[in-house]
Amino acid sequence: MIHLKLVTLSGIKFDGEAYEVSLPTMDGQITVLSDHMPLISAATNGVISIRKNPKDPESTMEHFATHGGVIEIADNNVRIIVDEADSGDEINESDAKKALELAVKMKNEAKDQISLEKAQQMIDRSNIRIQVAELKRRRR
């Protein structure tokens, strides 16, 4: 078992034992099991998935949408610091879809590089939020 701590600016989102954690790093999605080698990695936009017990089915996994941050793995402790991590419960799917539409519209209307990048970031963010909301819905 590994101990996982997920910390955001607005507080601790997860603090407890887990069997398996799947994390989005800059080099791709990695899955951490117990006795993982020490690793410090930069996180990227993506989904953090937590399986609490070895026999838990896919449907009971917890998912969080995150955007950047740092992951530290050492001695069966996984510590993640990110700006925001929204669980499926905290995301309103229709709101996220509206945000995506708005972001796509902004991208199409973007005149300079900065606003284009900003719109693209918003699109990525919304896509991940929608993904997590869908994962959550499938659980039901």
Q: Which amino acid is at 14?
A: F
Q: Of 31 and 60, which CB lies nearer to other proteins in the complex structure? A: 31
48 φ, ψ (degrees, to nearest 5): -95, 125
Q: State how beta strands 2-8 and 77-81 pair.
A: parallel
- Torsion angle, CA of 140/15/38/19, rounded to 10 degrees? -40
Cα separation, 50 vs 52, in Å, equals 6
User: In the stretch 66-105, what mask flags binding to other proteins with x, by CB under 8 A?
Assistant: --xxx-x-xx---x-x-xx---------------------
Contact region with other proteins (CB under 8 A), list: 5-13, 56-64, 89-97, 100-108: 5-13
DSSP alpha helix (H) spans, the chain: 93-109, 113-139
**CA 28 to chain CA centroid, nearest Å:** 13
- Whole-number minimum distance, CB 81 to other proteins, in Å? 5
Q: Report which DSSP code applies to 83.
A: S
User: In the stretch 22-41, what mask flags binding to other proteins with x, by CB under 8 A?
Assistant: ---xxx---------xxxxx
Q: Of 31 and 53, which CB lies nearer to other proteins in the complex structure? A: 31
Residue 17 binding other proteins, by CB under 8 A: no
Q: How many residues bind other proteins (CB under 8 A)?
A: 27
Residues in the site for other proteins, rule: CB under 8 A? 5, 7-12, 25-27, 37-43, 68-70, 72, 74-75, 79, 81, 83-84
